[in-house]
């Protein structure tokens, strides 16, 4: 019999499972604390559980761990792990230490089906959804390893913030995501605050509405363009859920959200979406519709993209144009550059199972003529958005 992976179960599900094997429901809280608060995976060490129960558990349950393919530590303290999720797939998790917090960037899928032009994960194509246990394991492992390494006192956390900004579109793996979020939020589990747990989405509108009902956490939306014509090409999901619908979902989300704003992510790509006119259009789009903060992410290049990062002068000018138009704007500092741990670079060693990279490359080589107003310059190579 395959053992039950205890990382798959939120506390309610764990209590149900205990009941189903004839044990008391409250045992779930005890076991949950051992696993998620103390990072314990050896039942023999769980001293306040009866010996009989510990022995029973070791036959039928386990803390499901993923093999670590590699761990890299950057000069700036950023740590990147690559975990093996089987069948030639791997996912990445990145820890970013700052003075006042420690942020863990977690993956939700092996690959991604959305296929954004500027994202290395999108170029790899989609392999599969991660299970709840595989999502939770990334936090469980990072907290456990870092705490031991740093000698962090009991009761304190190393990872204080979690962002679902690794590989994959979390809202396209909703049924595994929500129990994982609940485990991260549970006071007897990882105990994160809702304000410090962020789901980032490319805009799966119906699931934003469901998240507001099921498990509202901080929301970040990857916009990247001020109009549908450009966003259709950068984020193909826009053809299904265009900008007006997406911003409508953000406005509906806010009353349930733990923060009174939505973070708008905007990847700065040279000559594609980074002019002052784009900044003005973005401000005109957002200001009347939604309480938000804009986070500019300088594009992290990878060879297959054919795109370039906006210059730092352009990023600064864009940020100041947004600020003058009344939008609170920050620029994301790139971390872990020396270990390829930056946003959108998280797919280095993952197998391309769907040939998406070739399809995207072919699409770039065969531009379809469009009116010149929709021609964009990307670096020194001109191409036309389809
Ligand atoms: N799928 C979700 C979350 C994962 S991507 C989403 O798209 O929001 C996390 C963030 O990294 C997104 O804002 C995404 O647009 C950004 N990103 C992806 N590729 C990037 C790249 N090459 N350079 C900079 N940011 C990138
Ligand atoms: Fe998927 Fe997000 Fe990358 Fe787009 S940016 S391909 S949604 S992971």
pLDDT in tens, 174-209: 999 999 999 999 999 999 999 999 999 999 999 999
Position in ligand 1 atom list of the atom nearest CA 112: 1
Residues of the chain with CATH 1.10.150.530: 4-62
In the annotation, is 92 catalytic? yes
122 CB less than 6 Å from ligand 2? yes
The answer to whether residues 95 and 79 touch, using CB atoms and an 8 Å cutoff, is yes
Q: Which bound ligand lies closest to the C-alpha atom of 119?
A: 1
Question: Which atom of ligand 2 is closest in space to residue 168's alpha carbon?
Answer: 8
Q: Is the CB of 92 under 6 A from ligand 1?
A: no
Q: Residue 357 corresponds to which tokens in the numbers above?
A: 């990279």
| Straight-line distance from the first to the last Cα atom of the chain, in angstroms, rounded to the nearest whole number | 51
Distance (angstroms) between ligand 1 centre and the Cα of 272 equals 16
Q: How far, in Å, from the CA of 302 to the mean position of ligand 1?
A: 13
pLDDT of res. 364:
37
Looking at every residue in the chain, the average pLDDT score rounds to: 89
Q: 68-370+379-383: what fold?
A: TIM Barrel (3.20.20)
**For position 337, what pLDDT does the model report?**
74
Give per-residue pLDDT as tens, 229-241.
Answer: 999 999 999 999 9
Token pair recorded at residue 162: 């979690």
Q: How far is the CA of 363 from the centre of ligand 2 (A)?
A: 18
79 within 8 A of 326, measured Cβ to Cβ: no
Average of pLDDT values for 353-362? 40
Task: Indicate the pLDDT class of residue 340, thresholds 50, 70 and 90.
Answer: confident
pLDDT exceeds 90 at position 368: no
Q: How far is the CA of 347 from the centre of ligand 2 (A)?
A: 11
Q: With b meaning 16 or more CB within 10 Å and e meaning fewer, what string describes 76-85?
A: eebbbbbbeb
| Residue 73 backbone dihedrals phi, psi, to 5 degrees | -115, 125
Q: Which atom number of ligand 1 is nearest to the Cα of residue 300? A: 23
Residue 31, ligand 2, Cβ within 6 A: no
**Mutation probe of ligand 2 site: the residue of 121, 204, 208, 305 with most atoms within 8 A of C-beta:** 121
Hey, is 218 helix, strand or coil?
A: strand
Top-confidence residue, 371 or 244: 244
pLDDT band at 1 (very low <50, low <70, confident <90, very high): confident
- What percentage of the chain exceeds 90 in pLDDT? 85
Is 299's C-beta closer than 6 angstroms to any atom of ligand 1?
Answer: yes
Residue with the smallest CA separation from ligand 2 atom 2 is 169
* 164 close to ligand 2 (CB < 6 Angstrom): no
Cα dihedral 230→234→237→242 (10° resolution)? -20
Tokens 């906006």 correspond to what residue?
310
Q: Which helix (H) or strand (E) holds 285?
A: helix 276-286
Average pLDDT (327-337) is 88
270, pLDDT greater than 50: yes
In this predicted structure, what is the pLDDT of residue 265? 98
DSSP state at residue 332: P
The closest residue, in CA terms, to atom 8 on ligand 1 is 201
Question: Which is nearest to 39 in space by CA: 137, 108, 106?
Answer: 137
With 80 as the cut, is the pLDDT of residue 350 above it?
A: no
- Read off the pTM: 0.90
User: Which among 160, 266, 246 is positioned nearest to 206, based on CA atoms?
Assistant: 246
Mean pLDDT, to the nearest integer, of 299-309?
A: 95
What local confidence, expressed as pLDDT, does residue 386 receive? 17
* Active-site pick, 92, 134, 169, 265: 92
| Separation of CA 33 and ligand 1 centre (Å) | 33
What is the enclosing helix (H) or strand (E) of 208? helix 205-214
In the predicted structure, residue 357 carries a pLDDT above the cut 60: no
- Average pLDDT value for residue range 306-313: 97
pLDDT > 70 fraction of the chain, expressed in percent and rounded:
88
The third-level CATH classification (topology) of the domain covering 4-62 is: DNA polymerase; domain 1 (1.10.150)
Catalytic residue among 116, 215, 250, 343: 343
- pLDDT tens profile 117-156: 999 999 999 999 999 999 999 999 999 999 999 999 988 9
- Which residue puts its alpha carbon closest to atom 17 of ligand 1? 344
């Amino acid at each position: 019999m395959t053992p039950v992976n205890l990382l798959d179960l939120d506390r309610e599900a764990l209590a149900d499972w205990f009941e189903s094997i004839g044990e008391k429901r409250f045992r779930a809280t005890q076991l949950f604390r051992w696993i998620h608060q103390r990072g314990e995976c050896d039942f023999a060490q769980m001293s306040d559980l009866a010996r009989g129960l510990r022995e029973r558990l070791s036959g039928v349950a386990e803390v499901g761990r993923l093999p670590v393919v590699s761990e890299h530590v950057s000069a700036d303290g950023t740590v990147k792990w690559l975990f093996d999720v089987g069948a030639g797939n791997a996912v990445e998790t990145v820890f970013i230490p700052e003075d006042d917090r420690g942020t863990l960037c977690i993956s939700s899928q092996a690959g991604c089906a959305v296929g954004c032009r500027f994202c290395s994960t999108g170029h790899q194509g989609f392999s599969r959804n991660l299970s709840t246990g595989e999502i939770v394991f990334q936090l469980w492992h990072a907290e456990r390893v870092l705490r031991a390494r740093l000698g962090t006192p009991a009761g304190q956390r190393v990872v204080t913030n979690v962002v679902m900004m690794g590989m994959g579109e979390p809202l396209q793996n909703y049924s595994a995501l929500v129990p994982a979020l609940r485990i991260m939020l549970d006071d007897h589990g990882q105990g994160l605050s809702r304000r410090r747990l962020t789901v980032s989405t490319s805009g799966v509108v119906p699931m934003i509405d469901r998240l507001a009902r099921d498990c509202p956490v901080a929301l970040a939306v990857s916009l990247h363009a001020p109009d549908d014509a450009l966003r259709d090409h950068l984020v193909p999901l826009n053809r299904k859920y265009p900008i007006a619908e997406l911003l409508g979902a953000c406005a509906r989300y806010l009353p349930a959200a733990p923060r009174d704003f939505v973070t708008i992510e905007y990847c700065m790509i040279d000559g594609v979406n980074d002019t002052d006119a784009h900044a003005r259009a973005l401000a005109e789009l957002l200001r009347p519709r939604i309480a938000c903060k804009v986070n500019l992410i300088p594009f992290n290049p990878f060879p297959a993209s054919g795109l370039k990062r906006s210059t730092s002068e352009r990023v600064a000018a864009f940020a100041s144009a947004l600020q003058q138009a009344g939008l609170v704007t920050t620029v994301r500092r790139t971390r872990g550059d020396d270990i390829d741990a930056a946003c959108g670079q998280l797919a280095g060693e993952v197998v391309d199972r769907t040939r998406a990279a070739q399809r995207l490359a072919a699409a770039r080589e065969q531009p379809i003529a469009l009116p010149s107003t929709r021609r964009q310059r990307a670096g020194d190579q001109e191409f036309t958005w389809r």
